[in-house]
Amino acid sequence: MTEKEYDTRKAIEELRERFQGLTTALKESSQPPLEATLHFCQEFCQVLVEHAGRWKTDENPLPLLEVYTLAILSFAKATSCLSSECENVPLLLEKLALSCAELLLLLPQHVPGALWEEFQSSMKLAHSLLQESGSTQLCLLSVLAQQDGVWSNTTLSSILSNQIPQTEQVHEYLEMEGPALLNMRIKHLIKVDSVDKAAVLAKMCSEYPGYEGKGNFKQTYLLCICMTKNQEQLMEEVRNKTVCC
């Protein structure tokens, strides 16, 4: 183990202890439930920001994945002691889930097996704990955790390489992922200048009947066409719209 790896392990264990300390203090608190919950959320955010700030997303994303994985599971374990009257609880959970998903989309193609397995098992447990209290904020991460990697799904790979699978297979994949995650994928692809791939995925989503009224996939597809200056595709869309009208 290198010195850098040792420092990361030490930092993660320290974070684990800090989160456990917060949960213990919450359980033993003599404050009214709402006040105790507000205090827990505030302290939780401070600890998370303090530790996450040790690494930069573009330089060391893998330790940050460990931080978010640990944070989400720690928060999920504490939810049974949190007041349902506190609006900060679902907001914090949603923010954690979105931040983690955004980080995952930025990760290199291959995430080390042990780290990915830790993420998978943690999200499975956290999602299960939260479902008991009726929370659905981790649905998006739960979908990702069921796969072998962030971008490794064979149907997704085929779509992005413009080797479109059978319609039934595409629809099955789109139904599994959901519009929120696919929207995030498309935005990420645009951000990293993979506009052609974003256009293909947006087109698939815009043509899926199950997404009617969900997400702005058609507008995003047209935007991608304009960005790539593909006049032929753009004119085809205009003609289709004219025919429909």
Per-domain boundaries in the chain = 1-134, 153-244
If one compares 237 and 213, the residue with the highest pLDDT of the two is 213
Q: What is the pLDDT of residue 94?
A: 94
Q: What is the mean predicted confidence (pLDDT) over 33-51?
A: 96
> Mean pLDDT lowest for which of 3-7, 57-61, 106-110?
106-110
Q: Is the Cβ–Cβ distance between 126 and 118 less than 8 Å?
A: no
Q: What is the pLDDT of residue 234?
A: 61
Q: What is the pLDDT of residue 135?
A: 83
* pLDDT exceeds 70 at position 73: yes
> Mean pLDDT lowest for which of 20-29, 63-72, 104-113?
104-113
State pTM to two decimals: 0.87
**Most confident range, picked from 56-60, 153-157, 220-224:** 153-157
